[in-house]
Structure 1
């Protein structure tokens, strides 16, 4: 019987793959997402699916907006996926395919997929994915899966998520159709939206601080250049002194 990997094992592997330091503001985001992915990967009931993949990709992209250096983001995500025994390409390809599927589904088709026992016309592929989850009695629900579902709904029918009443009604339809814990999913998504808002506020403050610092440096440089220029006599002034 193989030994179950620990959180420490996964973190060690991650920092072996990604050796550059992580910006302190984002380190907690990275480690919390990594731990969440690890705990799911070692759960006996967990099964990877495209909605989960979309949730992982979306969470990473949304919470890592503004990360510097930008080039390090790919390395961080690749290392996270490798640390849990998968690849970034697998996650991204499944997420992209699911978003493309969302664009091809109308709001009516979307709702019918969660309500009907037979696939709606033109939505066979989506219905099969939903049906597989609904019929899995041991399906392991996760916050990342909920975020994937939420992102999918927003891509397919944005107005469903813009109005809180319509959004709650749609989420009720989803949780009923998938046999998921409605209250738990609602709380997870409320927290997700709240954390995104807080992160955006932090980034806005950081951007303002960077802008203020940049202006301060530019002002100091301009003043220093002005002093240097003032200390150098112009040719006309030098000639006048010599004539005298």
Structure 2
């Protein structure tokens, strides 16, 4: 990304690419993710990697769950990446590749893969990326990278992240292997999980509002269809 571009430039680009309005509770999610990705991309120490890509895709999918129409959700993600002068297909393909890897491994096998004590022929480039992260003292850690790690662990074995002690042990192992700030990773993932719960509650409220509005609309339409006789009948009662 051109480092001279401002957040306003990125937002302007986004709304030029995706021109349809975004539902209110989701607009904040999209813009916060956009700003986070912009600031990371503009940082001299930041380097794209597949785990970060998985974090972006996972965060977007989880927070945009239930967004309709589906075609708009695809358009929003594409615009998000393109507004940062990046390729949405690269994000999706890298995320899919890591998810496929986690699908075929147990939780312990994944942890061994992440600390590079276990390797597979078809993941040599991915493990080279892990090695580069672990050996880079200037590695730019991000919340989205942590979400990518969390998604991998959850995909390989949901029990790894289900209770706090097991989750903390897994995070400690991965953080040590990749030289990540363990406390920061834990806090970011706690906040992520908390925000997912809040978003789920907001979706329920939104659905209640939509259903109430739909009932009101149907009632009005019924009255219009019934005509003046319905109003007369109501007044007699």
- TM-score w.r.t. the length of structure 2 is 0.86
| Residues 74-223 of structure 1 aligned to structure 2 (within 5 Å) | 74-115=74-115, 118-119=117-118, 125=124, 127-222=127-222
Q: Distance in 2 between matches of 1:132 and 1:193?
A: 28
Return the index of the structure with the highest Cα Rg: 1
Residues 195-239 of structure 1, C-alpha deviations (whole Å, 9 max, x = no match):
1111110110111222233234434545665677889xxxxxxxx
Counterpart secondary structure, 2:46: coil
Write out per-residue CA displacement over residues 147-200 of structure 1, whole angstroms, 9 at most, x where no aligned residue: 011001100111111122111111111111110011111111111111111111
Secondary structure in 1 aligned to 2:25? helix
Q: Matched residue of 2:70: which SS? A: coil
CA distance in 2 between partners of 1:146 and 1:205 (Å): 29
> 2:234 aligns to what?
none
1:27 paired residue number: 27
Does 72-81 or 130-139 show the bigger shift?
130-139
Quick one: distance in 2 between partners of 1:150 and 1:206? 28
Check 1:72–1:151 CA distance in 2 against 1; reply closer, same or farther (3 A cut): same
**Structure 2 CA distance for partners of 1:134 and 1:230, relative to 1, 3 Å:** closer
Specify every segment of 5 or more residues in structure 2 that has no aligned partner in the other structure, as ranges: 232-237
Aligned to 2:58: 58
Aligned equivalents of 1:208, 1:174: Cα separation in 2: 41
- The number of residues matched between the two structures is 229
Counterparts of 1:90 and 1:120, CA distance in 2: 23
Does structure 1 conserve the Cα–Cα contact (< 8 Å) formed by 2:223 and 2:230? no
Q: Is the 8 A contact 2:133 2:178 kept in 1?
A: yes
- Are the counterparts in 2 of residues 105 and 123 from structure 1 also a CA contact under 8 Å? no
For 2:79 and 2:169, the matched residues in 1 are separated by 38
Structure 2 residue 47 is matched with structure 1 residue 47: yes
SS state at 2:139 partner: coil
Unmatched runs of 5 consecutive residues or more in structure 1: 232-244
* Pairwise CA RMSD: 2.4
More off after superposition, 136-145 vs 218-227: 218-227
- Contact 2:3/2:42 (8 A) holds in 1: no
Q: CA deviation at 1:113?
A: 2.9
* Cα distance, 1:3–1:17 mapped onto 2, change above 3 Å: same
8 Å CA contact retained: 1:18, 1:75: yes
Please, what TM-score do these two structures have when normalized by structure 1?
0.84
Partners of 2:176 and 2:3 lie apart in 1 by: 37
